[in-house]
Amino acid sequence: MKSLFLMLFSLLLAGCSISTTASETPGPLPDPQITTLSAPDAEQTVSDFLTAWGNREFERMYAMLSAGTQATISETAFFERYEDIGRTTQLTGIRYEIVSSLIAPDEAQVRYRITLQSAILGDITRDTWIELERSSDSWKVAWTDSSILPELTADTNLLLAPVIPTRANVYDVNGLALATETDTVALFLTPNEVGGKDAEEAMLVALSRLLGRTQDSILNLYDDIRDFNWYVHLGAVSFAEFQPYEATLNAVGGVGINFYPSRYYFSGGIAPHTVGYVSWIPEFDIERYLREGYIKDEFVGQSGVERVYEYALRGGQGGTLYLADSQGQLLRTLAQKDSEPPLAVYTNLDRELQSQVQEAIAEFTGAIVVIERDTGAIKAMVSSPGFDPNLFESNHPYTSQGLQEIFENTQNPLFDRTTHGTYPLGSVFKIITMAAGMESGLFQRDTIRDCPLEWNGLSSITLYDWRYERGLPARGDITLVQALERSCNTYFYQIGLELFNEGFETAISDMAAGFGLGKATDFEIGDEAGLIPDPATKLERFGASWGPQDVVELAIGQSFLTVTPIQVARYIAAIGNGGTLYRPQLINRIQSAEGEVVVDFQPDAQAELPLSAETLDAIQEAMFMVTSSPEGTARLVLRYPFTLSIKTAGKTGTATTGDFTDSHAWFAGYTFEEREDKPDIAVVVIVEFKGEGSTWAAPIFRRVVESYFFGKPQTLYRWESRIGVPATQTPTPDPEDLQPEATEES
């Protein structure tokens, strides 16, 4: 640029004249006038160059370089320089402002203020410049490293020393940790190294208490291989949990111990689908996370609370940006920002209840949702089978084999059945059909209809009551309330047919929508919408028109209806609380380490059930009769006060699945103890491909209620020898509302 400034100096001198003659007395010299020649095209070139940087159009930037510059740096090296600067500073974008320019015919210099927007450090602002050379009728950039930041040269680099806060904990409603950062202990057992019978007994006692498992379940892990030099993985515990048992387990022999720091999930995963887990940033998402201020080898939330509340739990990263020489020696500090502390997430889950509810359905594939009846607060959520989120920790010595077992499990343990499992509802849906019938005005609580074993209301098909398959006699004339109590299929077929014939073709579908089905609940960690059959969806899915058979099938919760357990829990709670559909809420509060509450739980009333007081009262009466009446379908399991001292109301359900496997077993109900110390709850249980709801789901419902009100289970399942230990025989089925089989193809 030396020639540029010499030329400018000569131009400035030419612009200043001293006028004198022989007859004149020289006067004072005028002040020199300095003029900066404007050249919008040069400034525009720099603006285009910087805009391309902001858009990461490095190929375009390289094409704008002068031939001399391109001779000194290859296109690949140029790209890498900008990519490296972007990665190091965690660049999310740039801003710039042209400050001034100096222009000569063949050379120019444009000064600008550049702001690098760093995800970690905030804004880094510098004044710098770009030199340009004239090439034909355009300007070319004579680039140097100082065009990025004035401190940079070809022999210096940027280095970032990040500061990542310790990830905050996830807690239950009582402040008990569900996920935490701690030193973890992985436990293994080589059974043929255990030092004798007494040592084995002491070991089983210690492991049972430490792992929260029965001695039998631990024994079953290794009993078949005790004579071989093989080992089995027992699980992982926190170092604090391990310490009281350390001496015993070290003394008995055969117990292997591996220490490592990790994100630790208590008891092998309490509510693992809901709490979620952390793991490495996925390869496909690395660039996005880097732009948001993460480093490449960082763990991030992958599901559940860990994913949805990632930014609160992680906190804001800070760090120091240094200028370093080519040997990595630090030369000076360029920018610095303190990290922002993370926020702890407190859920509405009750850790002890959650553990017991997980055990209640551990032997089955299915789901349970427990929700506070009058607020929508989620007390427990179980999708079974579960998984151990500790296995996603790369330091865990069993991670490779453990994850392989998870991914190869055909029951898909990572799938959350509580929020994303969509199922036919079966007879639990009859509550909605009853509501539609009453609100139409065609039916009252005491409306009498026949309950035959065979129903021929549709000319093309014969349908049956569940008592037909059992060889039981027909019920005869019964009221609407009794029809729900006894789950009479043929009565509800008649409701569907009469509604259709009287012009209420979509009354049941509309009522289902009023109960919150067919749309997501707005649950914090996400859920599926499910599907309500109606004329529009029938035409869209099957290209067929809506007819009476569609309404008849829907009346008993079949057709192509699908629901999620959390949707059912919400509307069952609404029936119990007087008609309010509360949004299911998982989060109780989010707060700082100093106790400042950022988010606080408040019940969120989303809608009211579209029911009159008379209809709601009739449904509540019928649901109580299901659990308390001698004719109720859940009487043997829940009859108050003879078999259960807690007042409950509910509905059994047995939903056919459209294939040749067993039906899904449902039970959905609520309590109405009205106690000050224990808010009433609604509970929904589904057991996949198992059979009748009264046989399989109702006993699990009872165990959940016992665990909630009494602190632990009180009654054996009929298929157990001891609580938590299955017997070899299966229980004798109770009478239930088996869904009918048609005599012809529907």
Contacts 24+ apart (CB under 8 A), 596-600: 598/312, 598/343
200 close to 375: Cβ distance less than 8 angstroms = no
Q: Which domains does the chain have, with CATH numbers?
A: 40-154 (3.10.450.100), 155-271+321-340 (3.90.1310), 422-695+702-726 (3.40.710.10)
Per-10-residue mean pLDDT of the chain, 746 residues long, equals 43 35 39 44 95 96 96 96 92 94 93 94 95 91 96 95 92 97 93 90 93 88 84 91 94 92 94 97 87 85 97 93 93 94 97 97 96 98 97 90 94 97 97 98 97 93 90 94 97 98 97 98 97 96 95 96 98 98 98 93 97 98 96 93 92 84 93 95 97 95 97 92 73 43 28
Task: Name the 3-class secondary structure at 432.
Answer: helix
How deeply is 192 buried, as exposed, middle or buried, from its count of CB atoms within 10 A (0-12, 13-18, 19+)?
A: middle
Query: Which pLDDT belongs to residue 335?
Result: 95
522: left (phi over 0), alpha (psi -120 to 50) or beta: left
C-alpha distances (whole Å) from 422 to each of 433, 479, 568, 686 are 20, 32, 11, 11
734 close to 675: Cβ distance less than 8 angstroms = no
Task: Name the 3-class secondary structure at 9.
Answer: helix
User: Hey, what are 340's tokens?
Assistant: 């922002």
Query: Which pLDDT belongs to residue 317?
Result: 87
Query: Which pLDDT belongs to residue 728?
Result: 57
| Site of tokens 């720091």 | 261
User: Hey, what are 544's tokens?
Assistant: 């067929």
Could you give the dihedral angle defined by the CA atoms of residues 279, 211, 220 and 235, in that order, rounded to the nearest 10 degrees? 20
d(CA 239, CA 110): 61
Contacts 24+ apart (CB under 8 A), 393-399: 393/184, 393/260, 393/262, 393/263, 394/279, 394/280, 395/184, 395/260, 395/261, 395/262, 396/184, 396/186, 396/236, 396/260, 396/262, 397/186, 397/188, 397/258, 397/260, 398/186, 398/188, 398/233
Rg of the chain (C-alpha set): 36
92 close to 117: Cβ distance less than 8 angstroms = yes
Q: Which DSSP category does 531 fall into?
A: B
